[in-house]
Each structure stands twice: as C-alpha cells, then as structure tokens.
Structure 1
Amino acid sequence: YAVHNQQMVYGYLVVFANSFDYVVQRMHQFVLTLDSCAGMFVQQESLRDSNRRLQEIQNKIIVSFADMVESRDDFTGQHVKRTSEYLRILVKYLAEMPEYAKILTPEMQDRMCKAAPLHDIGKIKISDVVLNKPGRLTEDEFEVIKTHTLSGGEIIEKTLTDIESDSYLKVAQEMALYHHEKWDGSGYPYHLSGEEIPLCARIMAVVDVFDALTSKRVYKEAFPVEKAFRILEESSGTHFDPKIVGTFLAHKEEVRQVLTKYQDRHI
C-alpha cells in the first residue's frame, strides 16, 4: 500500500499475514485514514506557508511606502526604523501597567510596531519646496504641512482596505491621523485632548518627537540626547500624555541603545 497525497508518495506499507482477507481489509482502511490525515496536514502546512509569504510581502510593501517618504529628505535617515524600535520599547513597558495591560496585548503591540512606519505617509503629497525648506515655514506653509495627517489617513484607507485586517487598518489610520494631536488640545488636525486622542497616537507622538529632536534636519542640527529627554519631560501634561512620556523617560538606556545602533548622525 502506498501512503500518498495527490502526486506525492510518502512511503509504502507492506503486510504479511496468515488471515489475509481480514488483515488486508483492516490495513486498507488504516491506509485510507492515514492518507486523509497526511493530506490535511500537507494542505494546512502549505496554507500556513502561503500566509507567511503573503504577510512578508505585505510588510515589505508597508516599509516601501514609508521609504518613499524618507527618500525625499536626505536628513531623515533611519527615522521610520528608529521610531518603530522606540515604540516597541515603550509599549513593552506600558503593557506592564495595569491600566494598559488589557489594551496593549502582544498582538496589539505587534500591530502598532508594524503600523508605525506609516505614520508620516501623508507627506508623500506635500511639495518638496515646503517639505525640505531649509528655513522657518510661513504660516501658510505650515498649514500645508499639517495636511499630511489627513492625507495619511486617506492613503492608508484606500491602499490597505481589503489587504490588511480591520484591526490593523484602524491602528494605522489613528497613528497617521492623530500623532500631532497634543494632550492639552493645541495640536492638529482636530484639536483633540487627553484621552480623546487614541492611545496608539499618544504613544506615537512621544517617539516621533523624540526622534525629530535628536535628528539632523534641513532646518536644524540634531539636539543632544539629554536635551531631547529634557524637552520631553518639560512637555509632559501639555504636549504629551504624562504617563506615556514618563514611561519613556524611565528607560533611557534602552533608547540610547537604539541611537547607537543607527549611526547616521551625531548625538
């Protein structure tokens, strides 16, 4: 008897018996059952492998989206990679706090880290003249820059609907739309305040600003890391959620390790 699935033969079963008819009948049933189990196993493994490959492709597309924005500014360097790593550090420790434990599940943490590179995707619609202006922006130019949040939410909805899960889509959109909202309500685009701002966006705001402070841009030099930490601390309760920025500042050494890992600027 051959143990097989479609064209793939896994082995053969040879039976030696005196009571031939009875044994052959039982062994025939056994082989049919074994064939069925082997077939289901192979199909499930093939499906899992296909899903893994599809997920890898989707992740590469997401990173490519972010790289399209990065490539327009020579000074942004490894911004999306650093912010994703800062975020992973931050959510790991926030998840240990009782008020966030049920929200920041391992699945939610992975979802946020995967969505983080898309937070600035809306900048793809901003003119290079404005985006890379070396001097201070005019009021009108700043209004143009602010539209990247709305554009980001729109791009994510149009490109990832029916490709990614609804839960991922929601997190990615919230990060893109609300990461410039401020705890005191003075941010944009909707002037949300406090816990009106989705948690993922409040977290994204901290790591995004920290990386902006410690990065060289066309309009400024990189701030020393201690000065960046001090600015975050001074902005607690106005720009940032106090609990979130406090947790970030409580783990400075891990943050510094990320800075060391990406040696594309002076700290």
Structure 2
Amino acid sequence: MKILIVDDELVSRKKMDLLVRSLGHETVVAEDGLEGWEAWKKERTRMVITDWMMPGMSGLELCAKIREAEGSQYIYLIMVTSKEDVEDLVRGMDAGADDFITKPFIKEELAVRIRAGERISSFETRDIVIFSLAKLVESRDSETGLHLERIRHYSRELTTTILESENPPEEIDTLFVDNIFLTSPLHDIGKIGIPDYILLKPGELDDQEFEIMKRHSVIGFETLNEALNNYPKADYLRMSAEIALSHHERFDGSGYPYGLKGKEIPLSARIVALADVYDALVSKRIYKEAYQHDVAKSIIEKKRGKDFDPMIVDAFLDCQEKFIEISKRFSKNQEGFNPLQRIRGV
C-alpha cells in the first residue's frame, strides 16, 4: 500500500518514513500540511499518516479537506499527536481522523495501526457490487469471454495515457482514472431490460429489433441515475450513468440515443466507446472471426473525428501495445458472442 506521510519535523518525518517502508509499504512524504494536501491530490493514497500541529495547514485541516474531497473511495487517516485529552481526540475524529498514534511511537504500534487501516480499506464492497451487477447482465447472453475485464483495462489505459499527455483535460485526474476502471463494466447494464429473443438472437437484428436494442442505453442510465439520486455523493454512480447513456454516441453526432456531438458527449463515454468497439473488433463472434490488431487499428484510425474523439484515438495509438497485451491476457477460453457487440456500419 502507498501511504502519505505528513510531518513538519525532520527527525519525526524521517523516522516515520523509515518505519513505514520497513513494514513493506511505499511512501510519499510531505513536509507540511499544504504540501501534504497537494501530494494527496496528485497521488490519492488510500492511507495518510499526518502530524497534528503544523504551520500553514494543521493535521486537523488536512484531514477535513481530504474527507471533503475523497469521493467514493474511503481514505484511512491516522493522526500523530502528543495530545491525549478526550476533547482533543474528539476534535480529531470530528475532522475525519480514523485513528491516533501518540508520540513517541514504536514500530509495533505503528504496524498494528496500519494493519487496521488495511482491513477497513479491504471492506470496501463498492467494486464487488458494481462488477457483480455487470456480470449479472453478461450472464444473460452467450459470451463466455472476459469482455468486462478487457473493457475496464482498455478504458484505464486510455485515460492514463490522456492524463500523462502534454495538455490533458482538466476533468481527468487520478480519481477519474479510478472511477472509469470501476464503472466502465456497467456500460451495458441496460441490457437487463432487453427481451431475450432480441438479446440472444444469433443472427443479424432487423431494424425494429435494433431500435429495441438501442433502448438499453436509456434503461441503463435510468437505473443508475435512480441510484445516484439516493446517493448524490457517489461520484462513481454519476460517471457510470453517463457511460451507460452515451457510450453509443458518435463524435460526429451520428450515434444514439440523442445524437450528441463532440464534447456534448461526456468524456468518460467517449473513452469507453473506443474501448468497446476495439474489443468487438478483436473478439471472435459467431458471424465473424476475430480481427488482428492492425486491422482494428486501421478501422479506428479511419473513424477518427467521425465515430471517435481524435484525442482518444491519438491516446489509443500511443498505448496500443498495452491494448494488445490486455487482449491476450483476458482472452483465454474466449468463444461464443455477445449480441450487443455487433458493429453496425464498421
């Protein structure tokens, strides 16, 4: 686990860094609260160990800011302090601290505190619930491959590549990367509302059937948006609803359900759209063999500025070797087909 250490005292900071690394963890070190805040925004470590009394921004203020900005991914916060009064501990907990280490601390105590934080983090069931929902949908069709795993990894590679580019969009940060990896498997959650005679049809859909099939995007959005209304702070539900609704929109406005164009389409949906099409192209279907990567690459390049955002196509070209690796890694025992992955017009 990567742990952020924040302490303005040099000796204490170095001691904590040494002990945490000796316990097998990676560290990010900051010299005061303000530096710690900037480091956490960049790294979004799942655990933070911070001193209480610091100039500029105290440990209390840092905890409060992290709690406010953590989104749906819980951050475990440990305060290092010489304060032992109940009133002070209540103040710390009210600011968002989960645990306290009293100075002077020893390695054994620190190890116990960190293990407690790891257990709390492991209890986070969000990832499991979301992927179980996606698998429930996938179980209704005859695909036996690892489509959902591939989609989430393709989407993360695209997003990471964009984030590391020279001028990434402001909305992309490490939280965006985490969320798209988590939520992209829900892109076709609306299939739960599509009749089996269409979803499982082995041949080409006629126009009327395709119109029914297209409803899955709105059904998925309504399902996830209802959950978002109940949990408005769940940023991952907002992204998942956007992806479900708009991953079949096309950059030139020729997609569905609303014919959105360009940046009218949420960035998350534009990313998943390319990942979804690539996976359909390189996967074997009952009506076609799997295309080689170079063939899929050529098709995507031709659709640059038409079906796909040019920025995302460029990111795909930059990370295409990782796409090949992902396709191989998650393609064992792949056979059958997923009717929703038909490519019309490609």
Question: Match for residue 240 of structure 1?
Answer: 308
Structure 2 counterparts to residues 96-107 of structure 1, below 5 A: 96-107=164-175
Contact 1:76 1:215 in 2 (8 A): no
Name which one, 1 or 2, has greater alpha-carbon Rg: 1
Return the TM-score normalized by structure 1: 0.79
Q: Is the contact between residue 111 and residue 168 of structure 1 (CA under 8 Å) also seen in structure 2?
A: yes
How many residues align? The count is 234
Name the aligned partner's letter for residue 34 of structure 1: E
Per the alignment, residue 333 of structure 2 pairs with: 264
Partners in 2 of 1:38 and 1:109 — Cα distance?
Answer: 35
Cα gap change, 1:129 to 1:221, in 2 (>3 Å)? farther
Partner residue of 2:214? 146
1:172 aligns with 2:250: no
The 1:211–1:35 alpha-carbon spacing in structure 2 relative to 1, beyond 3 Å, is same
Alignment match, 2:292: 224
Per mean C-alpha deviation after superposition, the further-off stretch among 203-212 and 165-174 is 165-174
Aligned match of 2:163: 95
Q: TM-score, normalised by structure 2?
A: 0.62
Shift of 1:219: 3.6
Say if 1:166 and 1:120 are closer, same or farther in 2 by CA, change over 3 A.
same
Q: Does 1:72 align with 2:122?
A: no
CA distance in 2, matches of 1:192, 1:165: 26
**Could you say which residue in structure 1 is the equivalent of 2:186?**
118
Q: Distance in 2 between matches of 1:157 and 1:260?
A: 34
Whole-Å Cα distance in 1 between the matches of residues 236 and 271 of structure 2? Answer: 16
Output the aligned Cα RMSD. 2.7
Distance 1:166 1:44 in 2: 21
Task: For residue 63 of structure 1, report the CA deviation from its aligned partner.
Answer: 0.4
Question: 2-side partners of 1:203 and 1:113: how far apart?
Answer: 11
**Identical aligned pairs, as a percentage?**
39
Structure 2 residue ranges without an equivalent (≥5): 1-82, 100-112, 336-346
Q: Displacement of 1:38 after TM fit?
A: 7.5
Match of residue 84 from structure 2: 34
Kept after mapping to 2: 8 A contact 1:149/1:178:
yes
Q: Kindly tell me: are residues 98 and 166 of structure 1, through their superposed partners in 2, closer, same or farther at Cα, counting changes over 3 Å?
A: farther
**Deviation readout 1:194-225 (Å, 9 max, x if unpaired):** 11111111111000110111122344332222
Report the residue type matching 2:98 in the other structure.
Q
State yes or no: 1:254 paired with 2:322. yes
How far residue 246 of structure 1 moved from its aligned partner, in angstroms, is 1.8
Judging by fraction of residues, say which structure has more helix: 1
Bigger relative contact order, structure 1 or 2 (CA pairs below 8 A, ≥6 apart):
1
- Partner amino acid for 2:242? E
C-alpha separation between the residues in 2 aligned to 1:126 and 1:65? 15
